[in-house]
Amino acid sequence: MQTKSKIGHNKPPKTIEEQINDQGRINLSNSLIKKFKRRVDDKGKYIETVFNDTERVGLKLKVNKGGSKTFFYQWYNKNKKCEDGTFGGISKQSIGQYPEWKIEAARSLVDKIKQGIKLGTDPRSTFEANKAIPTFEAVVAQWKDDVMNVSNAFRDGSKEDIKARFEVWFYLKPKARKLQNYILSHRSALNIKAKQVHLITHDEMVKYHKVITDNPTRPNGSPYQANRIMDDLKLIVKWAMKKKEWKIANNFALLDWEDERNVELHRTDNHKPYTPPELRLVRKEVMKQAIMRVIKKGKVKKRYARNFPALMCILAAMFLGRRYRNEILNLKWSQIDMNDVHLPRTKNSKKPTTYKTNIYVKWVFKNLKEYGKHKYSLEKKQRYHAQKGYAFPSIRDSKLPYVYDIDKTWKGILSNVGLRKLPLYMLRHSWATNGLKARKNNLNDIKNAGGWKTLRMVEVYSVQDEERNRDTSEDVARFIATGR
C-alpha cells in the first residue's frame, strides 16, 4: 500500500509542476521561485505556503498573502525561554525578499549563521552585521569622496567622463527621452545601485553589461560604453574589497569577467588610418592656408592665417604622434626648449614626462614664436607672450587661453584636398601605423615616442598585410637554409 506524500519527505518531486504545488523540501532555484504563487482555498482565502530548501536545512521561502516571496531561517534555539519557564524552542529570522535576495545569497548567509552558531554567536547578530553592509550606491559615493575626488591619478577630463557614464548607467538618469524609455523598460536589470554590494551576483552583472551593450538609441549599440562602465565598477570593487567588514571578497564575481566583455573595437577597426601620400596632401594644404593673410609690421610683410595656431597644431600632431588635446595644444613656451618638450604629467603617468621633437616640429615652433611675438606687440595680451605665454594661443577671448577646438579647421583641410573626413585623433593613429612600418615593426620604439602605456596598446596598429607576411616568410626560410 502506497503512503501519501508528507512534508519533509526525502524524495523531491521531479517535475516543475509538482515542485510548485508541493510544500516539501525541494531544491530551490531562482527560475523556480519566479513561478511560485500564493495559494487560496475554494473560498479564495489565503493558505500559508512555505517551501523548505534541500541544500540548506532551516532555509525556507514563504509566499506571502500579497504574492511577495520572503526568505527566512528557522533554527532550534536552546537559549529561548518558553512560556512555561523552560529553555529551548524554534526561532525564526527573516532574511529578505526575492528578487532582491537571490537563493545563492540566502544560502551563503545561512552558512555564515550556522558557522556562528557553532562558535556560540547569536544568529541575530550575524543578521545585524549583514544589514550594516552598504548598498552599491553608497559604496560608489564613498569611493568618489575618498579616492576619485582627492587623487591625482584622475585627470579632470577622466573624472567628467566617469561622472557622465555613471549618471546614465548607474544612477539611471539619462537626459535623452529615447534612452529614458529604454532604461525604464530594463530597470530591473540595470538597478544594481540599490543592492547591497556583497549580494550582487555574477549573473546580474552579465545581464547589466548586456543591456548596456544592446542600447538601441545608437546604431551599433554601446559595446564600448558597456566595457568602460564595467571597468569603472571593477576599479571600485577592488578598492571596496579592502574593507573586510563589507564581506565582498568571494561574493562579487565582477573581478573575473574578461571572457564575457564585448570584443574591443579599436578606432583603427572603424577608420583606416591615413597613408603617407594622404598625409602629404594634408601637409601641403596646411602650408598653403598658413600664408593666406598678409600682416604688415613696419616695412616687413608677414603672412599668417587667422587660424594659424590651429594649422600649426595639425602639423605638430602629424609629426609628433602625441595626444593633440592635452600634450600639444596646451603647451607653454616654458615647457619647450626646441629639442625637448617637458610635461608635468601625461594621461598615462603621474610623473613629469619628456618627449623629443624633430626638425619638422622645430620648424612649427619657430613659426609659432614669430607669430606670438607679433600678437604680443599688437594686442598686448599675456597669452601671446613669446616666453611666458602659450605656444598655440587662442584666437579670440575664450574660457581657455589656448586653442582647444580645431575640428572646423581640420574638416576644412580635408574638404579642400578631397580626403576621408576622419576625426583629428586619427593623426595619432596614422602616425603609429606608418611609424611601425618605418621602424620595421619595432613596437617598443613607437610606444616610447608616442607615449602609450603598454605594448598591447601599440599592437593594434601593427597591420599584418600580405607584403609583410611574405617578407617574414622569406626571411625565416632564408635563415633556416643559409644561416644568415
Please write the tens of the pLDDT for every residue from 226-276: 888 988 888 888 888 888 777 776 556 556 666 666 665 555 556 788 989
Asked whether the beta carbons of 409 and 310 are under 8 A apart, the reply is yes
DSSP track, 169-225: HTS---SSHHHHHHHHHTHHHH--TTSBGGG--HHHHHHHHHHHHT-TTSTT--HHH
Q: Is the CATH number 3.30.160.390 carried by domain 16-131?
A: yes
Residue 463's pLDDT band (cuts 50, 70, 90): low
For domain 276-466, give the CATH superfamily: Intergrase catalytic core (1.10.443.10)
What are the structural domain ranges in the chain?
A: 16-131, 136-265, 276-466
Burial (CB < 10 A; 0-12, 13-18, 19+), residue 123, is buried
The pLDDT score that the predictor gives to residue 172 is 93
Cβ contacts of residue 463 below 8 Å, gap of 6+? 433, 436, 437
Spatial separation of the C-alpha atoms in residues 409 and 413, rounded to whole Å: 6
Range 209-228 average pLDDT: 88
CA distances from 452 to 323, 418, 432, 456, 459 (A): 10, 31, 10, 9, 11
Q: Which three cell numbers stand for residue 340?
A: 625637448
Residue type, 230: M
DSSP track, 429-448: HHHHHHHHHHTTS-HHHHHH
Lowest mean pLDDT among 84-98, 292-306, 358-372: 292-306
Spatial separation of the C-alpha atoms in residues 266 and 268, rounded to whole Å: 5
Please write the tens of the pLDDT for every residue from 404-442: 888 899 999 999 999 988 888 889 988 988 888 888 788
In which residue are the cell numbers 622569406 written?
Answer: 474
In which residue are the cell numbers 576644412 written?
Answer: 412
Higher pLDDT: 306 or 384? It is 306
Asked whether the beta carbons of 440 and 278 are under 8 A apart, the reply is no
H-helix or E-strand spanning residue 76: strand 69-81
Spatial separation of the C-alpha atoms in residues 135 and 145, rounded to whole Å: 16
Cβ contacts of residue 413 below 8 Å, gap of 6+? 282, 285, 286, 289, 314
Phi/psi at 119 (nearest 5 deg)? -90, 0
CA terminus-to-terminus distance, the chain = 90
Residue type, 383: R
Checking if the pLDDT of 6 tops 50, the result is no
* Coil, strand or helix at 461: coil
Q: Residues of the chain with pLDDT > 70: what percent?
A: 82
Spatial separation of the C-alpha atoms in residues 233 and 178, rounded to whole Å: 25
**Averaged pLDDT of the chain:** 80
Spatial separation of the C-alpha atoms in residues 386 and 395, rounded to whole Å: 15
Asked whether the beta carbons of 96 and 196 are under 8 A apart, the reply is no
The pLDDT score that the predictor gives to residue 173 is 92
Please write the tens of the pLDDT for every residue from 131-161: 777 888 989 999 999 999 888 777 777 888 8
Q: Which three cell numbers stand for residue 129?
A: 552585521
Cis-peptide into 273, omega within 30 deg? no
Q: Please give the model's pTM, rounded to 2 decimal places.
A: 0.55
Checking if the pLDDT of 44 tops 70, the result is yes
Q: Which residue, among 157, 457, 445, has the nearest Cα to 329 in the 3D structure?
A: 157
Q: Give the gyration radius of the chain's Cα atoms.
A: 33
Q: Which residue, among 289, 267, 302, has the nearest Cα to 406 in the 3D structure?
A: 289
Is it true that 16-131 and 276-466 share their CATH fold? Answer: no
* Coil, strand or helix at 379: helix
The pLDDT score that the predictor gives to residue 2 is 47
CA distances from 79 to 72, 121, 128, 326, 450 (A): 19, 12, 19, 68, 70
Phi/psi at 371 (nearest 5 deg)? -65, -45
Range 165-180 average pLDDT: 92
Burial (CB < 10 A; 0-12, 13-18, 19+), residue 363, is middle
